Structure 1
Amino acid sequence: MSTNTAPIHHESSLSFTQGLLLGQLSIVILIGAFIKFFIFGDPPSPDLTAALRATERRSRTLAHKRSLLSLRPPSAHSHSHTQNLSRKRSSALRNPPPLTIGTILSKTYYNVDAHQPESLDWFNVLIAQTIAQFRADAQHDDAILTSLTRALNGTSRPDFLDEIKVTELSLGEDFPIFSNCRVIPVDDDGIATSAPHGSGRESKRLQARMDVDLSDFITLALETKLLLNYPKPLTAILPVALAVSVVRFSGTLSMSFIPSSSSPAHNTATTMAFSFLDDYRLDFSIRSLVGSRSRLQDVPKIASLVEKRLHDWFDERCVEPRFQEIALPSLWPRKKNTRGGEETPEAAPGASMSRKEAKMAAKEVERGIMAEARREVEREAEEKAERERVRQWERDAVEEHELEGMGGVRRRRRMTRGEEYAMPGSMPMG
């Protein structure tokens, strides 16, 4: 019995050792693969990544258009025409002739098929002036930094992140260039009606499409700490620094006006809708720094994750089929919007400054008053010191004259505060 059990015990101990070594080796291989491919892995080329993203966006846009075309009722045009005829109109207003997209194009002498794209040089100048003023306003005060810090540290910040600080903000130096502007008719859903694969519906509005290109270096740098709260709070703290820069953007911007609705149920103002087509390209330069002593710099996987998140954020907001709407104010001339002329701000209520300009002017006046008060205090202090020096010189001159009259036997000694002359003995009589 004993001779049979000894080899079995030896084999079980060997199998346990082999299993332990195999498990340790597999863990080491997994850690090495994680470090090699996740931390030090080479990122894909920007051209390949941009092509894959463009293909994915294009397929999503085509699927959305097919779903819209399949869900449209055949009697949508007749229903909208009947609804327009049922509206009440004032008897004082003359009924204008029916206005269609074709009428607008013919009255403005614009041929959609034959008109050449425009360069938009004048528009580039106006946009450049607007962006330059925005950058100047951002440099004047810290409002944009305060807004960014408040937005980053809002209620959506995770618990494992410490306070997020903005360490660098650069709004760039160059300006976007718009070109190749063309006008096309579209339907209610923004699908072109004159394209070979258009919707085939009646044109409801006009859409302007223009190419935009920007090559700049717009940077936002952040700094925070990862708080590892397991198994207990503040077990470890990992500093993280991230800098994201937009270096290139090129795409097609589409703009159109959505007319106001005068129905009682949906009374909306005229809005301007804009979005970017799915053929855009957005390139980033992402720098990262993880750790305090042993630091990992520019981890490729972190850069790819951040870049993907930024592209998803942009796609979800202003890339077709999604778009942004801006309500337009009334274009009728009003007194409160009047500027310029010979009237003074007191006599013309419409010539009053805006709230921001008034605040800046008040700050300038306050700084001027404080500077003038500071100079007045310094001038009074200098005059007081000068008068004190004159009085001291007069006292010294009187004392010196008295000592000279006494024969100059004793040398004058300057009195200090709380001190009196010591006069041992009696003064000799002349």
Structure 2
Amino acid sequence: MSETVILTGRVLCFDRSPFDGDPAGAARVEEAVAIAGGMIQATGARDILCAAHPGAELVDHGNRIILPGFVDAHAHYPQTAIIASWGKRLIDWLNTYTFPEEMRFADPAYAADIAALYLDLVTANGTTTVCSYCTIHPASADALFAEAQRRGMRLAAGKTCMDRDTAPEGLRDTAQSAYDDSRALIGRWHGIDRLTYAITPRFSPTSTPAQLDALGALWAEHPDCLMQTHLSEQTDEIDWVLGLYPEARDYLDTYERHGLLGERGLYGHAIHLTDRERARLRETGAALVHCPTSNTFIGSGLFDMDGLMAAGHRIALATDTGGGSSFSMLRTMAAAYEVGQLRGRALHAAELLWLATAGSAQTLHMGDRIGTIAPGMEADLIVLDPDATPALAQRTARAEDIWETLFATIMLGDDRCIAEVRIAGRVAGAGAG
């Protein structure tokens, strides 16, 4: 029996970014995709693939749409249990909800339970790759890496580092322990199977200059690691930062002067940027991560997708669980559309889907492995059912092309639309091993 599996349906294959020219012309629809050994072997006509792979298992998805698995470029898995908490802006959110919950991750068993629950939830929503913050506890990173490894998932994550007294005593490390713990975690997990380490200072207000220096030095020693942090999420946060770092030219400068600005850097939110910050981020090739449900839920502001993309920035899309109000990248795409509308730019369905797949994969420096359906790519795939609910079915019945179907599914869909998830070619389920 051949190990090859052929999935049939409407297979969406991006050939370029939809932000470069006509969005609708950025992708083509094939009839089938062949996978084997966890990799995509070919796309094309059903009959041709079946003839090329006699004995292959055939899985017919009818009129459903086969997409790359979603890539969530910024999340906080330790905030799973506090998602959808009421009424706070950023600083109060951290003190009221986030920090008390993160203290619970001192218990490795609790961390392991939440790691499994979190990956169950995102997988059910069609997300096959995540870049997540952990807590200051090394065991919180171990738990998430181990659970992702068990499932065969591609994951980036890192121990969150905070040594300033702006964080509560139970959630502070030191400059030295942040360096030592992160270095040990890199040795244990980075580059193992499908795992990537992300050096993770939470943000400048919770790190001293000494800690930022230490983490900048660590990144210089391990330049193939990612580095993730937060930048210019809220205006009162910016004032806070500049009060703590009076010598800094701006918020970004608090990272730049400590060696924490580079092309493998991921800067979450990036809403209220100065002209200098925009220019430096663009010059260095750093990535900006748009977190639309979080930005509206916590009242942060409206990300300038159109202006930043036109200026050549690299941009990803993310849920920002649990400041973000959903585990679903469909809901995140819908929110990105709504934010764009408020800024006068209606994003096309192709642009939204590209941000949630290839765009995010590229910002994570994984675009040569995930995010598109093409031969030689890893077989992280989802099957989208545009008839999953009565409300959606009646709308997609009127759709004149695949983009109208996909846009309706983005705006009306949820986890019920995710008919199948494959991670490295294997069908995934809750807790799948």
TM-score when normalising by structure 2: 0.21
TM-score when normalising by structure 1: 0.21
Larger Rg: 1
